[in-house]
A and B are shown apart, each in its own frame.
Chain A
Amino acid sequence: MQANAEITPLWHDICAESELISNSGICALIDDQQIAIFTLDLAEGRTLYAVSNWDPVGKANVIYRGIIGSVGSEPVVASPLYKEHYSLISGRCMENDGVSLMVYDAQIVDGRVQIAI
């Protein structure tokens, strides 16, 4: 079981679903890690995305305060500092190959938001 726990990321309970902000972001602290959680609400339903909150270009913990949107068909967040766009799916930076965000799994279970790291 020990080995298994190392590969399977652990789901962390974060907050109630009602704390999410529609089409915008919030931030969670898990151990020492800051995670930005975005909520995309479309007619088809709600999708959660979780990425690291550290802006690798601006060097500040601000990603969750960025505007979300799309580039082509890919959902992205724009850094509020210098406006680089990061894919919410892969964490890739559209303007700068040298940097990226970490991506995490996020889910809603029984009205609670959970993140796996």
Chain B
Amino acid sequence: MVGHHFVEQLVSSQYACNITVLSGEKRLAYDRVHLSSWFSGSNASDLAMTDEQTYQQWGVNFELDAQVIDIDRVHKTVSTATKTFSYDVLVLATGSYPFVPPIPGNDQPHCLVYRTIEDLEAIEASATESKVGVVVGGGLLGLEAANALKQAGLETHVVEFAPQLMAVQLDGQGGDLLRQKIEDLGVTVHTQKATQVIEAGNDCRYRMVFADESFLETDMILFSAGIRPSDFLGKKAELAVGERGGIVINDQCQTSDPNIYAIGECALWENRIFGLVAPGYTMARTVAAQIAGGEGAFTGADMSTKLKLMGVEVGSIGDAHGKTPGALSYTYHNQPDGVYKKLVVDATQKHVLGAVLVGDTGDYDTLLQYSLNGIELPQKPESLILPSAGEQPALGADALPDSATICSCHNVAKCDITQAIDSGCCSLGDVKSATKASTGCGGCTALLKNVVDSELEKRGVEVSKAICEHFDYTRQELFHIVKVEGIRSFDDLLAKHGTGLGCDICKPAVGSILASVWNDYILSQNNLPLQDTNDTYLGNMQKDGTYSIVPRIPGGEITPEGLILIGEVAKKYGLYTKITGGQRIDLFGARVDQLPDIWQTLIDGGFETGHAYAKGLRTVKSCVGSTWCRYGVQDSVGEAINIENRYKGLRGPHKIKFAVSGCTRECAEAQSKDIGIIATENGWNLYVCGNGGMKPRHADLFATDLDTQTLIKYIDRVLMFYVKTADRLQRTSVWMENLEGGLDYLKAVVIKDSLGMAEELEGQMQLIVDAYQCEWKTTLASEESRKRFRQFVNSKQTDSNIQFVDERGQIRPATEAEKIAGEARIPVEVI
């Protein structure tokens, strides 16, 4: 992990050099921190932090399965079993290996460790042949491993040598509470047990015999009794190595040979090994800066941690044990609720030295900031950990100094975040990708969100979860209320759950929700005042107040008669005509009073509204497909037409676009659509949540080789789940980026029906499909509705400000100057 971070830093510094990465494993760097997510469904590619293509693009050479066995410091070379490489500068980032206590019998087949992807595979394989599992070691990693065994369905035990769990991070009381909570979850904890021997068992595969002569039977054993630095190369090359291991480094991360650096878990700085990624990343940055000619030094790192172990929240900050001379502590212990908090302060009671939190880590971010930034404590420091003891002096994002570290993994300070926002980031996701904050261990997620929200708010960006001043709810909550309470009008919703008169934010949002839930005619008397002008007049308003006209052309397929009719309409009303990026035709420059006649002609000719104005389904783009194209493997046009006809009229939080390609050449650009479909020899591959537009996102492959029926079923579910849960004006791409659990979660909901709502989602979609009507047709059928398209209630005149000039044989809106100079013309009436 740290080695990769170093490469990344050096590459982005643009320092000209040849980089070669020798990886002892059979793959490039992956995310060890989230290794446990393997057991909840992620795979090697989810864990990968990079790929071979990226390294190639960066011009970084690499060798996999390349265990280095020797360093020749004189000739400056390193060698693997088969090859030798020369270096100017060598960086050792060899990490560490799990310590397996020297217990007789520890080398049997089902005695395993937990560090690499191969270890995970071995654990998984062993678990299928086992009923009982034991983890040796009750530290942070051990408990994570225990969770993994539990998830694999084993009866799980933790055996710990010390009298308590997580002895490094927690004090006795905190450890006891943690133990209690973990036992409540069905994991048996054995403390103060020293294993003497592992022998054959009676009921299980093995029997562990302890020093006190008690024993425990188990089918598999997972050792997690600490890590040891992989310093063997250092020893062999006679670099200075610490007494208890670790390659000695100075503040520049140089070993005793100035041309050799060591970073990460193999390095020993001031007699300390840092077993977390954040300090390793800091070392990596230090060395990259050194090499690229700059300066920089490693000055130690914070070892605070916050994590959730089997659903139990645990946090430890700084001097958790109060070992600093003169340290004082406050504790809060709530036995019934299972919450324990300890705050350690210095003798002057002005500064936080450390803290222990078990059962509730809500105060972690605040306490960590007090501790890291030396912020002076309030009058009564205990108020920081006491619940509801008056107003808790919460340390808002605003109170943090600019230099405050928000993300220690990627060394992102508050000022980096403000800078990112100033240079254009306008959401949490943007800030994350610009600064990398919160993409390491993830511990800073909540704090980062606070800072981003508060900074955005300062710049006038609306971040409150409430949709607007009239409703104290998010879009999802309103959706739920409308559905559950059977509400069918805005007024009803406002009376029951809102205040004031509503506005241009909540009205269209509720209009869209009502449409998604009931699919009533959007211009009924009740719904009409809710709609944006585009929806009210069923066209997009242009800059001069005229509208555009986009008839639906499903799949982009159109007959010559259709083309001629559109051409005739355009000619008759003098409209500007253009092919859109969505494979249909847009007619511009229609005055509001012309819209009904124009649409009447189109509808009489068999066209329907194209919903180009709607937050809803727009187009299903297609390529020509197998009917004509020599490479096509399925009928992409036919499929696109069917799909467009199924989902037309669907309204959602934002617009929705599809595309269907006839083969892997992808001429329809399906991977840039909300829903993308690509033909295969055996059916269809489904892609979801792509986006073109302002922030392009490649769609994710969701399922492969589907038959049409399954394809439709999945699309129904994905779309309806999106409609139900997304924020106002959130495209599927942003929705996906913010969806907790991401693609895997969506797959679970849609394919495995993990929420048990698949049927409901399909039913809801069917309701919408069945209730479809062409809004223009409905509108034109009523004299009352037609009346709305008059510019004036009391005059037949038209808007004299709408004036055009000719350009390339068509009209365009006149500029102010052209109007004043009288060069523009007012269009002639068409009777």
Contact = CB atoms under 8 A, between A and B. Distances in A.
A24 B529 contact: yes
Interface string B552-575: 000000000000000000000000
Contacts of B525: 22
A71 interface: yes
Given A28-B794, A69-B503, A70-B501, A61 B532 contact: no
Nearest to A12: B794
A70 B470 contact: yes
A52 to B, nearest CB: 13
A58 B469 contact: no
Nearest to B796: A29
A101 interface: no
A59 B820 CA distance: 14
A80 B715 CA distance: 33
B650 to A, nearest CB: 23
Contact of A29 (B501, B508, B592, B794): B794
A116 B451 CA distance: 52
A67 B501 contact: no
Contacts of B530: 67
Interface in B112-127: none
Contacts of B801: 60-61
B502 A69 contact: yes
B504 A83 contact: yes
Q: Which of B470, B508, B544, B793 has the most CB of A within 10 A?
A: B793
A60 B529 contact: no
Interface in B778-831: 787-788, 791-795, 797, 799-801, 816
A8 interface: no
A102 interface: no
Nearest to A20: B793
Contacts of B377: none
A27 interface: yes
Given A67-B508, A73-B500, A80 B793 contact: no
A34 B799 contact: yes
Given A21-B529, A65-B533, A65-B541, A15 B504 contact: no
B545 interface: yes
Given A34-B799, A66-B533, A70-B470, A81 B501 contact: no
Contacts of B537: 65
B615 interface: no
B96 interface: no
Contacts of B731: none
B621 interface: no
B190 interface: no
B540 to A, nearest CB: 11
B381 to A, nearest CB: 40
A19 B793 contact: yes
B400 interface: no
A85 B504 CA distance: 9
Given A67-B503, A73-B500, A75-B501, A29 B792 contact: yes
B529 A23 contact: yes
A76 B794 CA distance: 24
A29 B800 CA distance: 11
Contacts of B795: 28-29
A66 B788 contact: no
Nearest to B507: A67
Contact of B794 (A15, A70, A72, A81): A15
Q: Sort chain A's interface into a size bin.
A: 35 or more
A93 interface: no
Contacts of A65: 533, 536-537, 541, 592
Size bin of chain B's contact surface: 35 or more
B19 interface: no
B507 A21 contact: no
B812 to A, nearest CB: 15
B528 interface: yes
A69 B504 contact: yes
Interface string B535-549: 011000101110000
A51 interface: no
Interface in B478-516: 500-504, 506-508
A67 B530 CA distance: 7
B792 A80 contact: no
Interface in B645-677: none
A42 B506 CA distance: 17
A66 B504 contact: yes
B700 to A, nearest CB: 33
Contacts of A68: 501, 529
Contacts of B528: 21, 24
A108 interface: no
A62 interface: yes
Contact of A70 (B503, B792, B799): B503
A53 B180 CA distance: 70
A26 B507 contact: no
A80 B504 CA distance: 9
A91 to B, nearest CB: 17
Output the residue of B500, B541, B787, B794 with the most chain A CB within 10 A: B794
Contact of B532 (A29, A37, A67, A85): A67
Contacts of A75: 501
A22 B797 CA distance: 24
B541 A81 contact: yes
A61 to B, nearest CB: 5
Contacts of A106: none
Contacts of A62: 533, 541, 545
A40 interface: yes
A50 interface: no
Nearest to B501: A70
Contact of B504 (A30, A40, A78): A78
Given A22-B529, A61-B801, A69 B500 contact: yes
A59 B544 CA distance: 7
Contacts of A81: 541, 543, 545
Contacts of A37: 793
B470 A15 contact: no
Contacts of A70: 470, 500-503
A75 B469 CA distance: 13
A89 interface: no
In the complex, which of the residues A22, A65, A67, A68 has the most CB atoms of chain B within 10 Å of its own CB atom?
Answer: A67
A40 B501 contact: yes
21 contacts: A21-B528, A23-B529, A26-B793, A29-B795, A32-B800, A40-B501, A59-B816, A60-B543, A60-B801, A62-B533, A67-B507, A69-B500, A69-B504, A70-B500, A71-B503, A72-B469, A76-B503, A80-B532, A81-B541, A81-B545, A83-B504
Given A61-B801, A67-B503, A78-B504, 7 more contacts: A22-B529, A27-B791, A60-B801, A61-B545, A65-B537, A67-B530, A67-B531
